[in-house]
A and B are shown apart, each in its own frame.
Chain A
Amino acid sequence: MSIPGEWYLILAAALFTVGALGLLVRRNVLVMFMCIELMLNAANLTFVTFSRMLGDIGGQVIVFFVLVVAAAEVVVGLGIVVAIFRRRTQTSADDLRQLKG
């Protein structure tokens, strides 16, 4: 018998939570990006778990596409980061507050 699906789900939830916490707490833009990747991985794990629990290949297909889109997102996101922080000394998200109301 394999591990029940709920355990995987809780693990994925914990991973997601840690990623969210990191996103909220860290100031370094690149570390924030990595936390986003953590959250995406947690989602992937959840999908695969459900794919196994429900016996449906659709879950894995979703993960496939998530992977691709995450990659594209990282490309563009890091391009933006480079464009912004090229001439700065600090890569801190707190420096970007020109849209203050």
Chain B
Amino acid sequence: MLVSTLHATIPDAATFSVCAAVIMGGAVGVITARNSVHAALSLVMTLFGVAVLFIEQQADFLAVVQIIVYAGAIVVLFLFVIMFLGVDRRENVAEEPLRGQRPLALLLVVIALGGVIALGVNAHWATGRHSVAGSTTAGHHPNVYVLGKSVFTTYLFAFEATAALLVIAVVGAVVLARRPRRGPADPEAGEVDEGPDEAAETGGGVAGTPAEAMVGTEPGGEGRG
């Protein structure tokens, strides 16, 4: 399989290498950063790299969604929580209280990686099969068209279920982050109600809801120093 790699074009190869470096650099940064904010920013780096690779593989819509949702909302959410719980908390990365955790973890992930690489090299991927959900480029339609058609027809039920899941997540978050006293509950209620409507309109409007829920708890969080 790897022999055919030499047919790749230069721009593709360059893009891939750079993105690979960015991704791995970000990943290593996440796991080695002492400051949590640095870790969050490294995560953003990785997410960008993955988005570029999505574009590289003709999954344009997903790349954009990745940036908007993942890098734009989820990481921001992370940052909010880091701020909320104290940004200057540093973890001593060097020491490890649990005996044998690090060597064993290293060993296991090396085995896993080695196994997957071995499988990737030697396994025979099924090619030429009929597609399950339709071709990626049916009649030269844009990627959004094909993806949207598939989501809203074949996988409509999953789509609706996911929407319900989002509502549940919002409710759960509100309940979890609430303070025992009922005080600031009412002002939050209005903002929470907007969430499900927005979520139903666009699949990408998810970002608003959790953020607004987080905003709603801020008055409760002001009690802390």
Using a CB–CB cutoff of 8 Å, the interface residues on chain A facing chain B are 1-11, 13-15, 17-22, 24-28, 30-31, 33-35, 37-38, 41, 44-45, 48-49, 51-58, 60-61, 63-65, 67-76, 78-83, 85-86, 89-92, 94
Contacts and interface: CB of A to CB of B under 8 A. Distances in A.
A44 B50 contact: yes
Q: Which interface residue of A17, A27, A52, A89 has the most chain B CB atoms within 10 A? A: A17
Q: Which interface residue of A41, A57, A92 has the most chain B CB atoms within 10 A? A: A57
A70 B162 contact: no
Given A55-B136, A79-B177, A3 B47 contact: no
Contact of A74 (B31, B77, B133): B77
Contacts of A56: 131-136
Given A6-B120, A38-B46, A48-B57, A15 B5 contact: no
Contacts of A85: 85
Nearest to B158: A65
- If over half of B's interface residues share one DSSP class (helix, strand or loop), that class is named, otherwise mixed; here it is helix
Nearest to A20: B109
A52 B13 contact: no
A58 B206 CA distance: 22
Interface string B7-36: 111001100100010011001101101001
Given A41-B46, A45-B50, A3 B135 contact: no
B135 A64 contact: no
B56 interface: yes
Nearest to A30: B36
Interface string B114-140: 001100110001110101111111100
B213 to A, nearest CB: 7
9 contacts: A20-B105, A22-B27, A34-B43, A45-B53, A53-B127, A56-B134, A57-B150, A61-B133, A71-B70
B147 interface: yes
A11 B16 CA distance: 10
Contact of B59 (A20, A60, A75): A60
Contacts of A79: 172-177
